[in-house]
Structure 1
Amino acid sequence: MTQPSRERMAWKAGVWLNPPLSFQEDGDRLKVIPEKGKDFWKKTLYGFEFEDGPALLAAWDKNTAVEVSFELGSFTGLYDQAGLLLYHGPEQWIKAGIEINDGIPQLAVVVTNGYSDWSLAAVPEWVGEEVTLRASIMKDAVIIRARRKHDTWRTIRVARFPYPTGNQAGPFACSPTREGFEVTFTRWEIAATDQDLHVDPPVA
Structure 2
Amino acid sequence: MPDSHIIPWTAGTWTHAPLSQNGETELDVTAVEGSDAWRHTAYGFVHDTEHALLAPLAVGEAMEVTFRAPWTGEFDQAGIYVGIDDEHWMKAGVEFADGHLGLGAVVTDIRSDWSVGFVDEWLDAEITVRVSRWADALIVRARADDGEWRLVRVAPFDGDAAASAGPHLAAPTRAGLTVRFTRWVRDAADSALH
Q: Is the 8 A contact 2:50 2:170 kept in 1?
A: yes
Give SS of 2:72's match. coil
Question: Which consecutive residues of structure 2, in runs of 5 or more, have no partner in the other structure?
Answer: none
Q: Distance in 1 between matches of 2:26 and 2:58?
A: 24
User: Partner residue of 1:49?
Assistant: 46
User: What's the CA shift string for 1:53-84, capped at 9, x where partnerless?
Assistant: 11100111112101000013x11111000000
Give SS of 2:113's match. strand
Question: Which consecutive residues of structure 1, in runs of 5 or more, have no partner in the other structure?
Answer: 199-204
User: Partner residue of 2:109?
Assistant: 113
Q: Distance in 2 between matches of 1:140 and 1:95?
A: 17
User: Partner residue of 1:187?
Assistant: 183
Give SS of 1:37's match. coil
Runs of 4+ in 1 over 4 A off after TM superposition: none
Q: Distance in 2 between matches of 1:197 and 1:138?
A: 11
User: What's the CA shift string for 1:71-123, capped at 9, x where partnerless?
Assistant: 13x11111000000000111100000110011111002100000000011100
What's the offset of the Cα at 1:6?
1.0
In the TM superposition, 1:1-204 aligns within 5 A as 5-25=3-23, 27-72=24-69, 74-198=70-194
Q: Is the 8 A contact 2:65 2:185 kept in 1?
A: yes
Q: Distance in 1 between matches of 2:46 and 2:84?
A: 17
Q: Is the 8 A contact 2:136 2:157 kept in 1?
A: yes
Which residue identity lines up with residue 193 of structure 1 in the other structure? A
Q: Is the 8 A contact 1:81 1:174 kept in 2?
A: yes
Question: What number of residue pairs does the alignment pair up?
Answer: 193
What root-mean-square deviation, in Å, do the aligned CA atoms of Structure 1 and Structure 2 show? 1.1
Q: Is the 8 A contact 1:88 1:163 kept in 2?
A: no
Report the TM-score when normalising by structure 2.
Answer: 0.96
